[in-house]
């Protein structure tokens, strides 16, 4: 099969640029404020074929250029080749039929594109564009090409990612304050289509993730004024005299305050999305938990497209910290490796590195860790080999900002984020050191995987751990402090969560952190689903299933009680309802559909259903369901390319899987699972 081919990483960088330029805010666009990597504009593809007979091919390209076919001239009468010409060469235009002789031929394809992604598609019985081709940009050696399994036809355009689309009608129309409020029933990312029977008068569209936002004509985040003439093409265009289509936006509600005009309008939305397969199901005896799973899946699907993005209304950017959690959630919902690869490549960009990913120190470290995690999920050694040089240069970039203790610090221009929380960020902070230590472990694992020496990183890891305990462990408080520079000795949940999450603490230290930090209401609570993810994961690791379940039901369920149809960027239960949509000093600045809000899928799949890999890419796997939290449950979960099905009802547990290598663990008992066979157990 032939594929469109390009310089590896450039497809992701090109589409990542488009994604990161897509933020809209109150009538203007806000491109991402970090250095955006540039895709290459001029490249050369090359391949060699030893042809036994004449063959033909056609090359298509996005850009300008030509095809060059060359072979050695035939031997002379004396059995030697003439010194000149050294090669017989022929150049061809794109789109014409090219015949290659039955010889050893070298084919070079030159493509340049000033405005878009230079790429080629080659059709032929023998000669075709596949992974055997190599490419360079005239500054480095030839390397294997990049490609995407979804671009396999010459009529496709790799610069346009194809979405599935559905025309949606409002489920309700309501007269409010003389205007019309249209409710589409759920949040969507869609192009709005207006059809009207006569000449359009002035019209205002007020978009809202919430009803309150749409009805706030003055302060709603996304608002559009329409008239028959003078429309900004960036924000929409007339398809015909009486049909107007807006750009892609996220909303559930649209309010049109001009009620007389709105009554005559037909308002539709073309919902556009990537149709990831439905590989997971979960229901249990607790309807609140069932609803949380459903809303988590809806949230995650909306935030998953070409890439994992943070949220669908405000930023629409690719953030490394958000993506890192999405990789785990994906493992229990889609199990799609390609979106992980696209996101990893888009985030990293090119060398040399101008700044931390998204300008955030911790986000560069998450990126490094994600490579090892990706391999553990997929076993995709080819991708690890391709991305490793960028992993090494990122690690070196981070190593250039270590102090005498080996601690990483934020330089001017770096954002030391961690979380939206009251953390003492004076000097070097423990949260970043734990992420650095985990990054060293990722480097060790990947270097060993590639047959490279890892002693340097092993030494750095060992010394860093010693210094973390020396400077940040506080015996009096039985926990890690944020910073030793300020003298405050402030204890936050975040660094202590990392210490336990990464298995760095002793049994005694873990016990102390559990009781003196995690179960201590005097330590500031976490208010974002982002860090609730990590907090509840370690509580599950420590066997605190009741705590985890009650937090899922109260925290995510609390958002449902406040009308959420997708999960939010932040939730503070004590916050007044009239302030609940505000963030960043903006009354409607909070994202109400945020990828990091979908973590109950991971927590339920990994811990309550107990599915985990015991070797790379789920070659072997274990299921250890928690049979105490629900009276009944039924689930279907991906196991790499296979599927696990499990049901628990009336104390009867049944398990089937279409993949070899599984075991079921109940208490101290371990039961092997056979592919395609039903296993039943009465508990």
- DSSP string over 136-164: E-SSS--EEPEE-TT--STT--TTSPPPE
Of the CA atoms within 13 Å of residue 412, those in its CB half-sphere come to 0
Question: Phi and psi for 488 in degrees, rounded to 5?
Answer: -75, -25
pLDDT of 234 strictly over 70: no
629: CB partners within 8 A, 6+ apart? 545, 546, 549, 608
Residue 578 has pLDDT above 60, yes or no: yes
CA distance 218 to 40: 43
Note the pLDDT of residue 75: 78
Mean pLDDT, rounded, for 434-447? 98
| Measured distance CA(621)–CA(234) in Å, rounded | 50
Q: Are 584 and 570 in contact (CB under 8 A)?
A: no
Q: Where are the domains of the chain?
A: 5-147, 164-273, 279-323+525-595, 349-521, 612-682
Which CATH number applies to 612-682: 2.60.420.10, 3.40.50.300, 3.40.1350.10, 3.20.20.70? 2.60.420.10
Predicted local distance difference test score (pLDDT) of residue 462: 98
- Distance separating alpha carbons of residues 596 and 567, to the nearest angstrom: 8
Range from 13-17, 74-78, 144-148, 292-296 carrying the lowest mean pLDDT: 74-78
Whether the per-residue pLDDT at 140 is higher than 90: the answer is no
Q: Does position 589 have pLDDT exceeding 80, yes or no?
A: yes
Of the pLDDT bands very low, low, confident and very high (cuts 50, 70, 90), residue 261 is confident
- The answer to whether the beta carbons of residues 491 and 523 sit under 8 Å apart is yes
Element (H, E) at 441: helix 430-449
Please report the pLDDT score of residue 200 as a whole number.
64
Q: Report residue 62 as tokens.
A: 């996005």
pLDDT class of 102 with cuts at 50, 70, 90: very high
Q: Edge-to-edge, what's the strand order for the sheet holding 281-284? A: 281-284, 633-639, 642-649, 652-657, 679-682
Position 235 scores a pLDDT of 60
Omega cis (within 30) before 352:
yes
14 CB burial (10 A radius; 0-12, 13-18, 19+) = buried
What gap in Å lies between CA 631 and CA 651, rounded to an integer?
Answer: 8
- Identify the burial level of 140 via C-beta atoms within 10 angstroms of its C-beta, where 0-12 means exposed, 13-18 middle and 19 or more buried: exposed
Identify the residue with better confidence: 419 or 200.
419
Confidence class for position 403, pLDDT limits 50, 70, 90: very high
Q: Tell me, what's the pLDDT at 32?
A: 97
pTM of the predicted model over 0.85: yes
Residue 233 confidence (pLDDT): 45
Fold of 5-147: Jelly Rolls (2.60.120)
Hey, which residues does 266 pair with through a beta bridge? 195
Does residue 660 carry a pLDDT above 90? yes
Residue 236's pLDDT band, with cuts at 50, 70 and 90, is low
Distance of alpha carbon 273 from alpha carbon 189, whole angstroms: 7
Mean pLDDT on 426-439: 98
| Interatomic CA distance for residues 413 and 394, integer angstroms | 17
**Average per-residue pLDDT in the chain?**
95
Which CATH code, of 3.40.50.150, 1.50.10.10, 3.40.1260.10, 3.30.565.10, is assigned to 349-521?
1.50.10.10
pLDDT in tens, 297-354: 999 999 999 999 999 999 999 999 999 999 999 999 999 999 999 999 999 999 999 9
- Would you say 363 and 432 are in contact if contact means Cβ atoms under 8 Å apart? no
| 526 has pLDDT over 60 | yes
Torsions phi, psi of 640, nearest 5?
A: 55, -120
pLDDT the model gives residue 518: 98
Q: Which H helix or E strand runs over 249? A: strand 243-256
* Angstrom distances, CA of residue 316 to CA of 54, 249, 302, 313: 51, 10, 11, 7
Helix, strand, or coil here: 317?
Answer: coil
Phi and psi at residue 183, in whole multiples of 5°?
-115, 120
pLDDT at residue 80, as a whole number = 76
Eight-state DSSP code of residue 410: P
Domains 164-273 and 612-682 alike in fold: no
Q: What's the average model confidence in pLDDT over 444-448?
A: 98
Q: Identify the architecture of domain 164-273 in CATH.
A: Sandwich (2.60)
Tell me which of 611 and 197 has the higher pLDDT. 611
Q: Which of 162, 156, 382, 167 is nearest to 269 (CA)?
A: 167
Alpha carbons 225 and 203: distance in angstroms, whole number? 6
Task: Single out the residue of 65, 90, 85 nearest to residue 74, CA to CA.
Answer: 85
How far lies 449's CA from each of 455, 456, 535, 624, in Å?
14, 15, 30, 29
Q: With bands split at pLDDT 50, 70 and 90, how would you rate the model's confidence at 227?
A: low
Alpha-carbon distance of 620 to 616, in angstroms, equals 8
Angstrom distance (rounded) from CA 83 to CA 436: 59
pLDDT tens profile 603-612: 999 999 999 9
| Confidence bin at 681 (pLDDT 50/70/90) | very high
Helix ranges (H only) for 303-406 are 320-331, 337-348, 361-378, 381-399
Tokens of 185: 């029933």
Residue 291 and residue 595: Cα distance in Å, rounded? 17
* 156 neighbors 169 (Cβ within 8 angstroms): no
**Host H or E run for residue 347:** helix 337-348
CA distances from 30 to 14, 20, 247 (A): 18, 9, 15
Predicted local distance difference test score (pLDDT) of residue 242: 80
30-53 pLDDT per residue, tens: 999 999 999 999 999 999 999 999
Q: How many CA atoms lie within 13 A of 16 on its CB side?
A: 28
> How far is the C-alpha of 354 from the C-alpha of 109, rounded, in Å?
31
Dig out the tokens for 574 from the structure.
Answer: 């004590």
In this structure, the chain runs to a length of 683
Q: Model confidence over 147-158: pLDDT tens digits?
A: 999 999 999 999
What is the rounded CA–CA span in Å between residue 126 and residue 91? 19
């Amino acid at each position: 099969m032939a594929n469109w081919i390009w310089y590896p990483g450039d497809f992701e960088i090109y589409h990542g640029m488009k994604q990161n330029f897509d933020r809209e805010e109150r009538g203007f666009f806000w491109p991402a404020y970090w250095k955006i990597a540039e895709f290459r504009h001029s490249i050369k593809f090359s391949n060699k074929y030893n042809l036994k007979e004449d063959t033909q091919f056609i090359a298509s390209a996005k850009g300008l250029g030509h095809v060059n076919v060359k072979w050695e001239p035939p031997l002379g009468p004396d059995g030697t080749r003439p010194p000149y010409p050294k090669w017989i060469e022929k150049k061809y235009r794109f789109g014409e039929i090219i015949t290659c002789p039955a010889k050893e031929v070298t084919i070079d394809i030159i493509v340049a594109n000033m405005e878009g992604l230079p790429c080629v598609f080659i059709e032929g019985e023998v000669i075709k564009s596949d992974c055997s081709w190599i490419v360079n940009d005239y500054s480095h050696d030839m390397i294997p090409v990049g490609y995407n399994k979804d671009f396999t036809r010459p009529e496709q355009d790799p610069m346009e990612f194809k979405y599935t689309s559905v025309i949606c009608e409002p489920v309700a129309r309501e007269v409010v304050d003389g205007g019309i409020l249209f409710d589409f029933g759920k949040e969507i990312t869609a192009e709005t289509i207006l059809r009207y029977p006569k000449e359009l008068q002035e019209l205002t569209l007020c978009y809202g993730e919430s009803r309150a936002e749409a009805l706030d004509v003055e302060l709603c985040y996304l608002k559009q004024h329409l008239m028959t003439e003078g429309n900004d093409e960036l924000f929409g265009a007339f398809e015909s005299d009486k049909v107007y289509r807006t750009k892609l936006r996220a909303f559930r509600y649209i309010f049109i305050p001009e009620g007389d005009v709105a009554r005559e309008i037909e308002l539709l939305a073309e919902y556009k999305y990537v149709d990831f397969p439905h590989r997971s199901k979960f229901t249990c005896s607790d309807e609140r938990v069932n609803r949380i799973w459903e809303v988590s899946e809806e949230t995650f699907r909306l935030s998953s497209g070409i890439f994992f993005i943070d949220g669908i209304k405000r930023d629409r950017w690719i953030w490394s910290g958000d993506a890192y959690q999405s990789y785990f959630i994906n493992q229990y919902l889609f199990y799609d490796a390609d979106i992980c690869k696209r996101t990893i490549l888009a985030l990293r960009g090119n060398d040399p590195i101008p700044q931390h990913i998204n300008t955030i120190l911790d986000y560069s470290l998450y990126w490094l860790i994600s490579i090892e995690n990706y391999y553990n999920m997929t076993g995709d050694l080819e991708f690890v080999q391709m991305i490793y040089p960028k992993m090494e240069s990122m690690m070196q970039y981070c190593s250039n900002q270590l102090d005498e203790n080996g601690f990483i610090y934020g330089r001017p221009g770096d954002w030391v984020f961690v979380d939206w929380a009251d953390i003492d960020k004076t000097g070097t902070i423990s949260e970043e050191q734990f992420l650095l230590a985990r990054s060293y472990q990722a480097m060790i694992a990947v270097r060993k995987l590639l047959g490279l020496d890892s002693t340097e990183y092993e030494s750095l890891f060992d010394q860093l751990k010693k210094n973390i305990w020396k400077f940040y462990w506080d015996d009096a408080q039985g926990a890690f402090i944020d910073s030793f520079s300020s003298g405050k000795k402030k204890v936050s949940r975040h660094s202590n969560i990392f210490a336990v999450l990464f298995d760095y603490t002793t049994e005694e230290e873990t016990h102390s952190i559990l009781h003196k930090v995690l179960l201590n209401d005097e330590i500031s609570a976490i208010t974002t689903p982002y860090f609730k993810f990590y907090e509840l994961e370690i509580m599950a690791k420590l066997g605190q299933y009741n705590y985890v379940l009650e937090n899922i039901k109260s925290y995510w369920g609390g958002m449902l009680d406040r009308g959420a149809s997708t999960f939010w960027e932040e939730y503070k239960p004590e916050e007044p309802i009239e302030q609940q949509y505000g963030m960043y000093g903006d009354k409607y600045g909070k994202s109400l559909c945020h990828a990091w809000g979908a973590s109950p899928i991971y927590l339920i799949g990994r811990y309550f259903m107990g599915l985990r890999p015991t070797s790379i890419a789920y070659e072997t796997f274990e299921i250890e369901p928690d049979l105490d939290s629900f009276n009944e449950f039924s689930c279907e979960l991906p196991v790499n390319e296979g599927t696990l099905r499990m049901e628990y009802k009336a104390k009867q547990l049944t398990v089937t899987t279409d993949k070899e290598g599984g075991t079921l663990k109940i208490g101290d008992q371990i039961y092997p699972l056979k592919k395609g066979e039903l296993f039943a157990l009465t508990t």
